[in-house]
Chains A and B, each alone.
Chain A
Amino acid sequence: MTRRPLIAAAILIGAGMGGFIDGILFHQILQLHNMLSARIPPDTLVGTKINMVWDGFFHALTWLMTAWGIGALWRAAGRNDVPWSTRTFVGSLLVGWGAFNLVEGLIDHHLLDVHHVVERLHRSVYDYAFLAFGLVLLIIGASLVRAGRHDSKEAVTMKS
């Protein structure tokens, strides 16, 4: 018995969907920042369009990641040695989302300074809140994954 394929698939889906939340909510609806907004300010039509193209590349990658996760989930579903647990699945989704926020926040917001959560404030408390939110998601997700290790065997019995 191994939960690893289910956990890995859900992490990929969670990270992909976390990327979509970032892109759709912050880049498009709230327009707080764009992919390269610290380097190319979106305050002219050309600057905005350049950032829109890079936002599109970002969404394309998060789409690929989600699709890869769905494929991995499909393969996991076909295996009899993978226990089917909602807590493991939802926990791993949160782990993926949290890991994405932490990695993306550290690299893009802090190390490389390509954009910040609220671009007009440059690096601000919101960038640290973004990291903290990612850490909270990671902790809650890991707790759920841990709790799910007990209900796995029952789920497999029901599946078979």
Chain B
Amino acid sequence: MRLRKIVTPIAVLLPASGRVVACTLCHTDLAREVRASVFGDDFWQNTGILVLPILLVAAIALFIQDGGKRK
């Protein structure tokens, strides 16, 4: 009886999750618009911006680890 109380709402709500708009990979107009913007012309530029600070700090850590000996 208690199990049914838990399972029933999940079973009812699960099919509705296919219509949810708040997902990046689903097939809605909103999701397509988001994907088009994220993976648009400036994707690699934005990726570079994102990666640059992390690469620099990682390079500092590597330099310290190797004591500047890596060639």
Contacts and interface: CB of A to CB of B under 8 A. Distances in A.
B37 A4 contact: no
Interface stretch (A25-33, A42-50, A120-128, A148-156): A42-50
Nearest to B51: A61
A50 B65 contact: no
Given A12-B58, A49-B34, A50-B37, A7 B64 contact: yes
A49 B54 contact: no
A15 B61 contact: yes
Contact of B50 (A40, A50, A54): A54
Interface in B10-61: 22, 24, 30, 33-34, 37-38, 46-47, 49-54, 56-58, 60-61
Interface in A1-28: 2, 4-5, 7-9, 11-12, 15, 19
Interface in A111-131: 112, 114
Interface residues of A, number: 36
Given A4-B65, A40-B37, A54 B53 contact: no
A38 to B, nearest CB: 11
Interface residues of B, number: 25
Prevailing SS type, chain B contact patch: helix
Interface in A76-130: 96, 99-100, 103-104, 107-108, 112, 114
A12 B65 CA distance: 11
16 contacts: A7-B64, A8-B64, A11-B57, A11-B60, A12-B61, A15-B54, A46-B34, A46-B37, A53-B38, A54-B46, A65-B57, A65-B58, A100-B54, A103-B56, A103-B57, A108-B53
Given A8-B61, A96-B57, 12 more contacts: A2-B67, A4-B67, A40-B37, A46-B30, A61-B54, A62-B54, A65-B58, A99-B57, A103-B56, A103-B57, A107-B56, A114-B49
